[in-house]
Structure 1
Amino acid sequence: MLTAPVRQLGESERRAVERLLDLDPYAGAQVAERVAARGLAWWRAEGRVLGYGSRRQLESVCWLGGNLTPVLATRQATAAFADLLAGEDRICSSIVGRADAVLELWDRLCDTWGPARDVRPNQPLLVTEAMPTVPADPHVRLVRGAELDLLFPAAVAMYTEEVGVSPLAEDAGRGYRRRVTDLIRANRAYARFVDGRVVFKAELAVVTRHTAQIQGVWVAPEWRGRGIATAAMAAVVRDALHRVAPTVSLYVNDFNQPARRVYERCGFRPVGTLATVLF
């Protein structure tokens, strides 16, 4: 029997939500960024924040928008979120968050929301607050606005390789192009260019007062195995720590051993495990 109902949270509970998100600053970073930028009003936030617990003691939250992200979700909270969501049509393209909550949610929702295109149950969540000891690639820099057309094909290639579908399949890629444009304008997109082509790229996809979360790391296929990734990542981490946030975080598929070795060389340490369900 559930001891507390799930409810949609509003702006009056923003402080309580922010306090909760501060307790899990890395796994909850994407939700924290959205709340900081848009608040909790559903019509402004482009998603809903569901809460579990009494008004005096909020225990867990769950972001529902383009993705579904539980934060600090106990088994009781996960069950309550799943009971509510099972009665709704799926609108999210993924479920992502701490592995225990994500996999429990999926176990409860798979009969009504399935099938999934892919389930990635073990994605180490990594963090560093120290400048890398390895040399940084001096050629890795922030992408300029005029270089959007050079970066965009690399971003599409990375997305397609990582997610398994092309971002051009929906709305001919207009939404994804806007996203890449926004990252460039915010000085959150990095690349190394050789002869006018991108050979390495990465973005600070999420930025909060606690962390800058790197996503979209990609090396051009013909440049893989040459050892450029470690120095390139070191350049990104150095700039992010110097200019953006007190820590840098990311998550990686457990089977991607080359990437995990790069991140270890750059000083990242594990702080948990995420999971992702892709639709």
Structure 2
Amino acid sequence: MTDSLLRRAQQTLAPLQRREVEAALELCAADPVSSVLPTMHLETARDSGIVPRGMWAVRRRTGMTRELAGVLWNGANLSAVLPVTPDDPSGDEMRAGVASAMVARLTRPAALVGHAGLILDLWGRVEPWWGPARELRPRQLSMAMDEDPAAQPAPASSGDLELEPVRLATMDDYDVLLPACVHMFRGEVGYDPLRHGRAAYEDRLQYLVRAGRSYVQLGSIRGKRPEVIFKAEIGVLGGGVAQIQGVWTHPDVRGRGVARAGMAELVRAIRAEVAPVASLYVNDFNAPALAVYRSVGFEDVGTFATVMF
């Protein structure tokens, strides 16, 4: 990639302007589930009048002017919305120009995440400069539901398990919530966030709790003091879509229906109080999780990919 190649590109990547926010939201609305991350930040910009630094506009040259052709969010994660056009039906020209501009203008994020076809295409173009990846997850099922969940039986109990209802977490729960979140993170992401970036990790968790986006189910196992049995967070919220993240069930009670019942309660609460659509994405090889989500009523709506650094 050279400066001359960038100059010849029909696309430019530049900070989004306030006057472009509504048009950017319209681009995202074409696929609200896969676009939920940039949508969340665009809605914040619309409501506050301040466009965050990580929000970028993809502009395409049309004659003597440039029109908004896509948007890109580059924060901890990078996610892009790059619609195809009649004069570029494969999107190849757009993606080539955007990838070149990403390398030239952006700081590499912690991860690329979003629609698999787009993310894997961009990754293939930027890998010589941004690679190597720590882990590549090329096929994650994007799932969503816009109806109340199917009824689930109560978790199996032989007298050793006492459960409270799923509810919003409060800061009073923080001391028992943090270990559960760390256990989930280590299993899913592969390292201990308390040893690498503890302040940022705890700030994020505390924000979700205070924002009413952290859900917890406490209970006692074999008469021990109450601890987290099931938990999840609304990690991303925008465009009427609540993206569920961080789903975790206590290892000692897995296989007893706790996750199924907990997810049903969670989705019911989200649809009643937060957003009409609940979504999530999950590795295609995670058969137990897929069985839980499908039993509750989630349906496949696309394929995601994640590139982690």
Task: Return the TM-score normalized by structure 2.
Answer: 0.83
Equivalent in the alignment of 1:87: 104
SS of 1:87's equivalent in the other structure is helix
Structure 1 residue 269 corresponds to structure 2 residue 299 = yes
| Structure 2 CA distance for partners of 1:21 and 1:2, relative to 1, 3 Å | same
SS of 1:24's equivalent in the other structure is coil
Greater CA drift, 122-131 or 85-94: 85-94
SS of 2:24's equivalent in the other structure is helix
Structure 1 residue 139 corresponds to structure 2 residue 165 = yes
SS of 1:198's equivalent in the other structure is strand
CA contact (8 A) 2:213 2:235 kept: yes
What is the CA-CA distance between 1:135 and the residue it aligns to?
A: 2.8
Equivalent in the alignment of 1:4: 11
Structure 1 residue 177 corresponds to structure 2 residue 218 = no
Structure 1 counterpart of 2:266, which letter? V
What is the CA-CA distance between 1:72 and the residue it aligns to?
A: 3.2
What is the CA-CA distance between 1:229 and the residue it aligns to?
A: 0.7
Distance 2:185 2:255 in 1: 20
CA contact (8 A) 1:188 1:204 kept: yes
CA contact (8 A) 2:60 2:69 kept: yes
What is the CA-CA distance between 1:2 and the residue it aligns to?
A: 4.0
CA contact (8 A) 1:145 1:184 kept: yes
Equivalent in the alignment of 1:63: 73
Greater CA drift, 61-70 or 250-259: 61-70
What is the CA-CA distance between 1:255 and the residue it aligns to?
A: 0.8
Structure 1 residue 211 corresponds to structure 2 residue 218 = no
Alignment of 1:12-51 (within 5 A): 12-38=19-45, 45-51=52-58
Aligned residues: 278
Q: What CA RMSD, in Å, does the superposition of the two structures yield over aligned residues?
A: 2.3
Unaligned runs of 5+ in 2: 1-7, 84-90, 155-163, 221-225
SS of 2:283's equivalent in the other structure is coil
Structure 1 residue 148 corresponds to structure 2 residue 174 = yes
What is the CA-CA distance between 1:188 and the residue it aligns to?
A: 1.3
What is the CA-CA distance between 1:50 and the residue it aligns to?
A: 3.0
What is the CA-CA distance between 1:122 and the residue it aligns to?
A: 0.6
Structure 2 counterpart of 1:122, which letter? R
SS of 2:149's equivalent in the other structure is coil
Equivalent in the alignment of 2:192: 166
Distance 1:275 1:77 in 2: 19
Distance 1:181 1:10 in 2: 30
State percent identity of aligned pairs.
37
Distance 2:264 2:26 in 1: 32
What is the CA-CA distance between 1:19 and the residue it aligns to?
A: 1.0
Distance 1:261 1:72 in 2: 32
Distance 1:265 1:244 in 2: 22
Distance 1:27 1:199 in 2: 29
Structure 1 residue 130 corresponds to structure 2 residue 130 = no
Structure 2 counterpart of 1:192, which letter? Q
CA contact (8 A) 1:136 1:235 kept: no
Equivalent in the alignment of 1:248: 278
| Structure 2 CA distance for partners of 1:80 and 1:56, relative to 1, 3 Å | closer
Structure 1 residue 239 corresponds to structure 2 residue 269 = yes
What is the CA-CA distance between 1:257 and the residue it aligns to?
A: 0.8
1:113-134 deviation per Cα after TM superposition (whole angstroms, max 9, x unaligned) = 1110000011111110111122
Distance 1:218 1:199 in 2: 8
What is the CA-CA distance between 1:263 and the residue it aligns to?
A: 0.7
CA contact (8 A) 2:13 2:56 kept: no
CA contact (8 A) 2:32 2:239 kept: no
CA contact (8 A) 1:143 1:191 kept: yes
Structure 1 residue 190 corresponds to structure 2 residue 207 = no
| Structure 2 CA distance for partners of 1:46 and 1:8, relative to 1, 3 Å | closer
Distance 1:224 1:157 in 2: 14
Distance 2:255 2:152 in 1: 18
CA contact (8 A) 2:34 2:114 kept: yes
Distance 2:46 2:122 in 1: 25
